[in-house]
A and B are shown apart, each in its own frame.
Chain A
Amino acid sequence: MPRMPKRVKYRKEMRRVRDRKATKANYVAFGEFGLQALSGCWLTARQIEAGRIAAQHYLKRQGRVYIRVFPDKPISKKPLETRMGTGKAEVDYWAARVRPGTMLFEIAGVPEDVARQTMVRVAMKMPIRCRFVGRRLEV
């Protein structure tokens, strides 16, 4: 079942600017390998769920998958063939704001080749280009 928040302050939200680069959540923090977005998008709850299922299907019971994004942005959409106006439409789906550089998924407890193969399958479910990354240099 796709994710969504339990409680929100407001039912609908403005669209806002979405072409900025990631300044946080842009490195592998929990696992050993990660899948990083190379461009921005609104990642829908269904796409995140599809990625999670793809990862778990490939991993079977190995390792652990961390989902680093949460769809907390309500996206409203007018029904087809309706006239403009009469206020903001109802919420159609929930999405996570993804900026270039955002870490989408992380994996721990599996060798690199398994993690890479898993992320290839997850990346196929994503609407944007992604790349496989390891932990960054730490001081």
Chain B
Amino acid sequence: MQTSHTLKARKRERIGSRYAARERAAGRLPAVIYGHGVDPLHISLDAKEALRYFHDGERVFALAVDGGKGDETVLLKELQFDYLGTNVVHADLMRVDLNEEIEASVHINFVGEAPGLKSAGAIMTHPYTALTIKCTVAALPDHIDVDVSKLNVGDSLHARDITLPAGIVLAMDEDTVIAAISMVKEASETGEAAEGAVSSEPEVITEKKQEDKGQ
């Protein structure tokens, strides 16, 4: 279950990249609140506090805006990153009610030791790190535990195989592979077949067309 912390926010009077950069330099995180048919509001949060909660997997917060009417319940909807892809530069918060049903993605936490991983050369691939689920805001979990203790080499775990807590419904394709154990292809150190490296020169498509026209 989500623990709802209160985030203190300040209204941003001036918006745009230059003013947002100044906010960041002052230790604030620019953000926007939208939803429920109300005009969007540009705010800034305490970056250190907000990021700590985000990293802990929390998604639902009570938001107290300076000069606002009172606390609003918001859901963290999206994060924007800088060019290095690691530093958060902006957050999108959506107004929600605790009893409202939403679609959200929740982090997958793999638990248990897969017996298939004990054999040499076996590797577990998990293309998805989050599950898309439908539930009420109050029931939104921080993460979903997925048991992989029965997976052997060649086995795969699909979205339909995951047991979800009560009140939570899967909102993605049931056939999606969440985790699979396979053997790593043996590659020679000097010359793994590089996909495009058969001939010394690639085929030029446009030259071929010109030849055809000439005939």
Which residues of A line the B interface, CB within 8 A?
Answer: 1-11, 21-23, 26-27, 30, 36, 38, 49, 52-53, 56-57, 61-64, 70, 91, 100-101, 103, 108-109, 133, 135-139
- The reply to whether B59 and A6 form a contact with Cβ atoms under 8 Å apart is no
Instruction: Tell me which residues across on chain A come within 8 A of B84, comparing CB atoms.
Output: 26, 36, 38, 100-101
- The reply to whether A23 and B197 form a contact with Cβ atoms under 8 Å apart is no
Can you give 25 contacting A-B residue pairs, CB < 8 Å? A1-B191, A4-B196, A5-B196, A6-B198, A7-B204, A9-B206, A21-B83, A22-B83, A30-B127, A56-B187, A61-B120, A61-B184, A63-B123, A100-B84, A101-B83, A108-B123, A108-B125, A109-B123, A135-B129, A136-B81, A136-B85, A137-B79, A138-B105, A138-B130, A139-B54
Chain B residues touching A, range: 35 or more
Instruction: Tell me which residues across on chain B come within 8 A of A1, comparing CB atoms.
Output: 191, 194, 197
Instruction: Tell me which residues across on chain B come within 8 A of A64, comparing CB atoms.
Output: 123, 125, 184
A3-B195, A3-B196, A9-B204 known; A137-B55 Cβ under 8 A: yes
- The reply to whether A139 and B83 form a contact with Cβ atoms under 8 Å apart is no
A5, B63: Cα distance in complex, Å: 52
Q: Which of A23, A63, A139 has the most CB of B within 10 A?
A: A139
- The reply to whether B198 and A56 form a contact with Cβ atoms under 8 Å apart is no
A17, B145: Cα distance in complex, Å: 46
- The reply to whether B203 and A6 form a contact with Cβ atoms under 8 Å apart is yes
A128, B24: Cα distance in complex, Å: 28
Minimum Cβ distance to chain A for residue B171 (Å): 15
A49, B194: Cα distance in complex, Å: 9
- The reply to whether B107 and A138 form a contact with Cβ atoms under 8 Å apart is yes
Instruction: Tell me which residues across on chain B come within 8 A of A138, comparing CB atoms.
Output: 105, 107, 129-130
Residue in chain B with minimal CB distance to A30: B127
- The reply to whether A11 and B83 form a contact with Cβ atoms under 8 Å apart is no
Instruction: Tell me which residues across on chain B come within 8 A of A70, comparing CB atoms.
Output: 196
Residue in chain B with minimal CB distance to A57: B189
Residue in chain A with minimal CB distance to B86: A136
Minimum Cβ distance to chain A for residue B193 (Å): 8
A124, B2: Cα distance in complex, Å: 44
Instruction: Tell me which residues across on chain B come within 8 A of A62, comparing CB atoms.
Output: 121, 123, 184
Given contacts A26-B83, A27-B86, 10 further A-B contacts (CB under 8 A): A2-B197, A6-B202, A10-B206, A23-B83, A30-B127, A70-B196, A100-B83, A133-B85, A137-B88, A139-B77
